[in-house]
Amino acid sequence: MIAALLGALQIAAASPALVVRDGQHTVRVPLVASANGPLLRVESLASMLQIAVHHDSSSYYTISVNGARLQVSTGVSVVRVGSDVRPLASAPVMAAGHLLVPLQLVSEIFPHVVPNTRWDADKGQLVLFTSLGDASNGLVQQAGAPAPSTRTVATRTEHPLPPIPPKRAGRRLVIVDAGHGGVDNGMTGPIGDGPKIREKDITLAVALKLGKRLRAHGIDVVYTRTTDTLIALDDRGRIANRAGGDLFISVHVNAANPNWKDPGAARGFETYFLAEAHTEDARRVEQMENESMRFEGGPAAVDKDDPLGFILSDMKQNEHLRESSELAETIQDHLAEMHPGPNRGVKQAGFRVLVTAYMPAVLVEIGFGTNPREAAFLSSPAKQNAIADAIAAGAMEYLQGYERRVAGAGAAATGPTP
């Protein structure tokens, strides 16, 4: 958090503008120097974000950004988002009828609470995703204006996701998804002594090794991320769909429920496929992994989930349920051959990241980062290689079985009608 703030300030010192970019546009938003660090006019973001400032009363203002509501008060160095209060680098001020806020509000707070935003700490830029169906117009209400003046913000419908190579004919394509990333560390552990781990680092290391193994087997691979960045859960599925993946494999590290009798003792590996969570424990993991949405836009982003969209995508995904459970079984079997922890089995849960991938999709919890022994196991590059080998072997076995089933079905279709 401190590093991000320093980064923002350095960028501000080097250049009097904040760069905001999406897949198509880059806009430079002027910064105003102050004794307490760089400030910016809220409305200056309106060409890129759906943003509006509302003067509530006396010193109180509400900033609406992409559906999130941030409440500030001039002269007070905090921002309130729902019931959450976060510190600001300096207090917002009114100048010539414009609300000025610290750059840190954009660099540090936005990525946590405003949907479809991410802070690129390396470049010191605000990066915007465009979510599906986010084509409505934004209204900008000028603070302090005699009558509320409105302005339409340009509609943006492009998809600023990374370019995806065209699918090669006759080649199987596996989407490899490293869980979490960027501001979303995932779980951290272990409980007690042992190497300190962050889930996002372990998942990235294993995902990159898994992709390498699959490529060695002649499989094409698309990663949802290859660096320490936050990719929205829905965008992971969209990347998979746009790439035309045959399989989707999401890698995660498990965490014990702190209310368990001896949480540090929990160990083992499990593989999930999409369905309603069937057990209390599956619900725990589902809730934990879906928590990432918090980093994509807070509770508001979860609330505005379109139930119809969910049902439709659920129906599409249902076609793949049997295949997904098959894939989960083969991966779990191969992990059982090398993993020192107990085999916790194949389970079902409603993972958001799996809902949006319209292909056989599984989520692998490769061990408990809360357990000191498994934290050491998961952070060893040799063990990461072995885990990647096992998952790759499971995926290969599944794909071979799938080819056989497809060939069998093809033969049946061309044979005599029963």
The distance of closest approach from Cβ of residue 379 to Zn ion in the complex, given in angstroms and rounded to an integer, is 16
Q: Does 352 bind Zn ion (CB under 5 A)?
A: no
Stretch that binds Zn ion, among 19-27, 62-70, 174-182, 398-406 (CB under 5 A): 174-182
Nearest-CB residue for Zn ion: 252
**250 vs 325, beta carbon nearer Zn ion:** 250
Helix (H), strand (E) at residue 381: helix 381-414
Stretch that binds Zn ion, among 37-45, 51-59, 63-71, 284-292 (CB under 5 A): 284-292
**252 vs 383, beta carbon nearer Zn ion:** 252
Please choose, from the candidates 83, 72, 96, 223, the residue with its C-alpha nearest in 3D space to the C-alpha of residue 161: 223
Q: Does 124 bind Zn ion (CB under 5 A)?
A: no
Strand bridging mode 125-128 / 17-21:
parallel
The distance of closest approach from Cβ of residue 345 to Zn ion in the complex, given in angstroms and rounded to an integer, is 18
Distance CA 382, CA 230 (A): 26
Distance CA 33, CA 10 (A): 12
DSSP state of 263: G
Stretch that binds Zn ion, among 89-97, 168-176, 180-188, 258-266 (CB under 5 A): 180-188
> 3-class DSSP state for residue 174?
strand
> 3-class DSSP state for residue 311?
helix
Q: Does 372 bind Zn ion (CB under 5 A)?
A: no
> 3-class DSSP state for residue 104?
helix
Among 179, 211, 297, 341, binds Zn ion (CB under 5 A): 179
The distance of closest approach from Cβ of residue 363 to Zn ion in the complex, given in angstroms and rounded to an integer, is 8
Can you give 197-225 as a three-state secondary structure string?
EEHHHHHHHHHHHHHHHHHHCCCEEEECC
Stretch that binds Zn ion, among 41-49, 61-69, 136-144, 173-181 (CB under 5 A): 173-181
Under rule CB under 5 A, how many of the chain's residues touch Zn ion? Answer: 4
Q: Does 181 bind Zn ion (CB under 5 A)?
A: no
The distance of closest approach from Cβ of residue 31 to Zn ion in the complex, given in angstroms and rounded to an integer, is 36
Among 115, 186, 237, 341, binds Zn ion (CB under 5 A): 186
The distance of closest approach from Cβ of residue 236 to Zn ion in the complex, given in angstroms and rounded to an integer, is 12
The distance of closest approach from Cβ of residue 180 to Zn ion in the complex, given in angstroms and rounded to an integer, is 6
Q: Report whether 295 contacts 181 (CB < 8 A).
A: no
Q: Does 347 bind Zn ion (CB under 5 A)?
A: no
Q: Does 252 bind Zn ion (CB under 5 A)?
A: yes
Helix (H), strand (E) at residue 252: strand 247-254
Q: For the chain, percent helix, then strand, then coil, each to nearest 5?
A: 40, 25, 35
Stretch that binds Zn ion, among 77-85, 242-250, 285-293, 329-337 (CB under 5 A): 285-293
The distance of closest approach from Cβ of residue 255 to Zn ion in the complex, given in angstroms and rounded to an integer, is 8
The distance of closest approach from Cβ of residue 270 to Zn ion in the complex, given in angstroms and rounded to an integer, is 12
HSE-up of 3 (CA within 13 Å, CB side)?
A: 7
**186 vs 189, beta carbon nearer Zn ion:** 186
The distance of closest approach from Cβ of residue 161 to Zn ion in the complex, given in angstroms and rounded to an integer, is 21
Two tokens at 408?
């069998």
C-alpha angle with apex 74: 68 to 75, nearest 5 degrees? 130
Question: Which residues in the 294-313 window bind Zn ion by CB under 5 A?
Answer: none
Q: Report whether 273 contacts 327 (CB < 8 A).
A: yes
Two tokens at 266?
């929990």
Q: Does 111 bind Zn ion (CB under 5 A)?
A: no
Distance CA 126, CA 118 (A): 6
C-alpha angle with apex 326: 325 to 331, nearest 5 degrees? 95
Q: Does 383 bind Zn ion (CB under 5 A)?
A: no
**106 vs 364, beta carbon nearer Zn ion:** 364
**124 vs 179, beta carbon nearer Zn ion:** 179
**246 vs 289, beta carbon nearer Zn ion:** 289
- Residue 135 φ/ψ, nearest 5 degrees: -115, 10
Q: What is the contact surface with Zn ion in residues (CB under 5 A)? A: 179, 186, 252, 289
